[in-house]
Amino acid sequence: MNNIQKALENGQSIWLDSISRDMLRSGELQKFIDLGVTGVTSNPSIFDKAVAESDIYDESLLEYAKDGADREAIFERLAVDDIRDAADVLRPVYDNASMRDGYVSIEVSPTLANDTEGTITEARRLWAAIDRPNVMIKVPGTPAGVPAIKTLISKGINVNVTLLFALSAYEAAANAYIEGLSEFAQNARGIPAAVASVASFFVSRVDTSVDNALPECHELRGKIGTANAKVAYAKFNKLFDRKLGGGGSFFPLHTTGAQVQRPLWASTGVKNPDYPDTLYVDGLMGPDTVNTVPEATLSAYSDHGTPGTELLGGLDEARSQLTALAEAGVSLDAITDDLLEAGVNTFADSYESLLERIDSKLKVLST
């Protein structure tokens, strides 16, 4: 087996943090799937890059502009096409995994990060437009996003909770999933096992911010992103305890065959060249998890990664590292709050850049 397949054997799905129409039409996505990749994620930055680097979207841009649609509607149509096609390519993975893998994610507009009702409305529209069971709608784990997550799950809509940095935000997202799925089951809206969710916990951005707050050569540099994720994973195991009397609120749902909401490690491309390029894959591998990786990280992991189950150990050390960080005068809560705000703003900026690119391309194509 290759390293991607070994990761899957250890309980972790490797998803690709990239999508483009070129990748779909050339068969490149299928090649990744043949290697063991079991999912795909997208965001405005990824679509902006895809539209910028290829003329393959030009014909669709002109077609979708004919009826006078605004640039937001044009982008949505482009994105729906790609997400639907990716879902079709991944459908055999979804079927073979009994609905527990094989997903492709699409994000609601970043401008709705603080708008609960707007998020619900757009998520339901995207879900209906794509009309594939192996799609996840990405919703940010903001205070406004949490009730939207609960509502969408209660309607049987798969959700990828994105932009999670703080442990408290992760716990809120997990509880929203459990509450929403309980409502779905109680109202007999369908089979609970058919509803899926992941909680995307960002890693490398935490290390970048913490490292900037610590002195050079401090022993905690490059450690806190992984430590934060390990503590989140411990919280996941407690919340989704599947044993009778285990203390978690998920057990009644587990008896119906419901899926756990898997932690997904995001932002796993290494930003600091002094750190190993597979740091956030090797160090965060364990059962019931997903790691969504950019192509460069996937290539590095395939070449020289070390598949294992690192998540199953080192929890005490991780907690000690978080305590030591506070004792060093660095507030992780303040950092994660800033990262959430910056993440929302960055995706919003990427979304605006994408819309401007569509405008400029249409002007050129129309002349």
Provide the annotated active-site residues. Answer: 138
354 phi-psi bin (left φ>0, alpha ψ -120 to 50, beta other): alpha
Distance CA 61, CA 361 (A): 8
Q: What is 162-180 written as a DSSP string?
A: EEE-SHHHHHHHHHHHHHH
Distance CA 70, CA 332 (A): 41
- C-alpha pair distances (Å), 174 with each of 179, 239, 287: 9, 8, 17
Contact 46, 97 (CB under 8 A): no
Contact 162, 141 (CB under 8 A): yes
Determine whether 5 is exposed, middle or buried from the number of CB atoms within 10 Å of its CB (0-12, 13-18, 19+): middle
- C-alpha pair distances (Å), 193 with each of 133, 155, 257: 12, 13, 5
Q: Which residues contact 329 (CB under 8 A, 6 or more apart)?
A: none
Contact 235, 167 (CB under 8 A): yes
| Lookup result for tokens 């932009």 | 163
| Lookup result for tokens 């119906």 | 256
Contact 66, 44 (CB under 8 A): no
| Alpha helix stretches (DSSP H) within the chain | 3-9, 21-26, 28-35, 44-52, 58-65, 71-96, 116-130, 145-154, 167-186, 204-213, 224-239, 251-254, 279-282, 295-304, 315-327, 332-365
Q: Which residues pair with 14 in a beta bridge?
A: 291
